[in-house]
Structure 1
């Protein structure tokens, strides 16, 4: 029963909602086609905020 519960958790998409990860069709949007890489060491929080605003 634990296997079935885990399978339902993943297959229904509830895992994406709980953990806040984007769904496979939301990785690349029309406005953002590049990979969101963190390039700066000291301004990483600003880059993360910028990436999260684009979602």
Structure 2
């Protein structure tokens, strides 16, 4: 886990919670989605071109 063991490593938070005064429990206020694997450049270009083609059809 580089965020714990490497000094200066980038950190992030998966979820954020709020604890209210005199209210039992916690309320989740944010859940960051897991990062998806990066697409190859060719696949990304094909997806962009497909989107352009679909949106510019008469």
Normalising by structure 1, report the TM-score.
Answer: 0.24
Higher strand share: 2
Normalising by structure 2, report the TM-score.
Answer: 0.23
Higher helix share: 1
Which is greater in Rg?
2
Question: Higher RCO, 1 or 2 (CA under 8 Å, sep at least 6)?
Answer: 2
